[in-house]
Structure 1
Amino acid sequence: MVARDLRPVCAVGATLGEGPVWDVARGALWFVDIKGRRLHRFDPVTGALASQDAPAEIGWALPADDGTLLAGLQDGLWRFDPGGGGFAPFLAVEPDRPGNRLNDATVDAAGRLWFGSMDNGEAEASGRLYRFDDAGIIDSGLPPVVITNGPAFSPDGRTLYHTDTLGGVVHAAPVSEDGTVGAPRPFARIDPADGYPDGPAVDAEGCVWTGLFGGWGVRRYAPTGELIETMRFPVANVTKIAFGGPDLTTVYATTARKGLDAAALAAQPLAGDLFAFTVDVPGLATPLIRIAA
């Protein structure tokens, strides 16, 4: 694997940039600023950025098969109309846990949405991982953690990667065809001195990439859990990557200004911006959420 040509591509200055996803049909990247309550759409051809205010803190917005986006806000799932630019509530999540919010998500090959919650105060182990499909919202059964990140799936869809950010562990768990999740095992452990594992993504070789919050970059792990590559960034808080472009070899990375004091911000003027670099092993396209009747 060769990662090269790291560059800033869009000045956003996000407090907590997150949730990048490549929209194949539209040829654009969606991502969010969670704390800024903004949904962004970046067009790499023109360099244009279109932004929309969200009704609450927004963790992600992923394309669905009916042409809308399904977004994870603080209180649950919302629909977003890219044409009209409006948000509409869809399904409440964890109404009994008002201190939680939704944080990260992905879609499996069957079109099922997988997403996690977390304690917005980043103290209580109240974050859980859920699956949304025709049966509704189902708890995955994985142990709760303070901050969930991911999940992401292996190329064959049989392994789910799920991150306990404050615990510094990326877990791997088997997944059956019906979406049942088996017992997790530690896949990779990251020393807090090297940063905290944030959002994961998987490439076509089955290697797992993770952003490093406070770790100045991203890491790539072999399917066996061996660290095989590190990409260094000029900003400390790298949150998540997404593979994009026509051949999925352009990697986009969101970053954050959250937690940086005035001196750190002065030393990191690009903190919170969107970055890109090129790889020779492509990523995997994110399937559309199956939502249409």
Structure 2
Amino acid sequence: MIQCVWRGRARLGKGPLWCPEQGEAGRLLFVDILRRALHVHDFASGRTWGWSFEEACSWLVPRADGDGFIAGLASRLVHLRLDENGPRIVGDWVTPEEPGRGGLARLVDAELRQVDYSSGVTSETAVSPDGRTLYHSDRAAGVVYAFDLSPGGELTGKREHLRFHGAQGYPDGMTCDAEGGLWVAHWGGGRVSRFLPDGTLDETLILPASRVTSCAFGGPELDQLYITTAADGRDQEALAGSLFRVAPGVRGLAAPVLVA
């Protein structure tokens, strides 16, 4: 059963990230890009709270050294620390000379390098359990691409993996489970779907909100799928912008970390 665990009406909820070391049993972080906010959902208490940024924040990645996160702001990447008093920026980490749009970039030696271009809005990536395949969506084109991923982080062999049509909406954020299934949020389609590694549709979860934006596994056993949505342009949907949770019967993978 899909549960609504927060009815906060995020205008553009995004970037769900499970942090097992926070709180009593772990916490989920997620952002509201259009409201320039960071939210925290506590697993043990079920409570959700948040703070505002001076500019939009799109995502966070934990640092491998445990010293907070690298956060993607509208104008730059920053080193961010988070405690009970909220987020604190402790300096710029990367300031791109020309921030890119509509593409996929790679961080190499604290430098952003564009590695792929797209026709429009792109979203989060997901990596297969064996680390050999990276998935990336081009929402405007309605396509999820797959790349061969080398141990050194190089991408080759770009190919169309999934194409969305009609009532399916458009592919947005995604995550892989430990069995290799790819869970994709359907922007405008009101669902999250699981696809097998060969692209076959395996399961569909229907949400009471049409603009489904992303998903990530969490919970102490990584067996809970958290789903973010967007309320922007959806005033008629009572649960648009809410955070949802479901136990899909498979476990996820630990969040990747960034070597700072």
TM-score by length of 1: 0.82
Q: Which moved more, 1:63-72 or 1:162-171?
A: 63-72
8 Å Cα contact 2:11-2:35 kept in structure 1: yes
Q: Aligned-pair RMSD on alpha carbons? A: 1.6
Q: Percent identity?
A: 36
The corresponding residue for 1:249 is: 223
Mapping of 1:158-169 within 5 angstroms?
158-169=132-143
AA matched with 1:180: E
Distance in 1 (CA, whole Å) between partners of 2:91 and 2:207 is: 37
8 Å Cα contact 2:138-2:144 kept in structure 1: yes
8 Å Cα contact 1:159-1:173 kept in structure 2: yes
The corresponding residue for 1:130 is: 105
Distance in 2 (CA, whole Å) between partners of 1:40 and 1:139 is: 29
The corresponding residue for 2:78 is: 78
Number of residue pairs aligned between Structure 1 and Structure 2? 254
Q: Deviations over 1:62-109 (max 9, x none)?
A: 222333121111112112211253224423454335xxxxxxxxxxxx
Whether 1:13 and 2:15 are equivalent positions in the alignment is: no
8 Å Cα contact 2:70-2:93 kept in structure 1: no
Q: Deviations over 1:26-79 (max 9, x none)?
A: 110000000000011110211222311112111112222333121111112112
Distance in 2 (CA, whole Å) between partners of 1:94 and 1:164 is: 22
* 5+ residue gaps, structure 2: none
1:150: Cα distance to partner?
Answer: 1.9
Distance in 2 (CA, whole Å) between partners of 1:177 and 1:140 is: 18
Whether 1:207 and 2:203 are equivalent positions in the alignment is: no
SS of the residue aligned with 1:52? Answer: strand
TM-score by length of 2: 0.92
1:91 to 93, 96, 104: 93
Distance in 1 (CA, whole Å) between partners of 2:33 and 2:200 is: 31
SS of the residue aligned with 1:251? Answer: strand
The corresponding residue for 1:176 is: 150
1:251: Cα distance to partner?
Answer: 0.7
Whether 1:272 and 2:241 are equivalent positions in the alignment is: yes
The corresponding residue for 1:51 is: 50
Runs of 4+ residues over 4 Å off in structure 1 = none
Whether 1:239 and 2:239 are equivalent positions in the alignment is: no
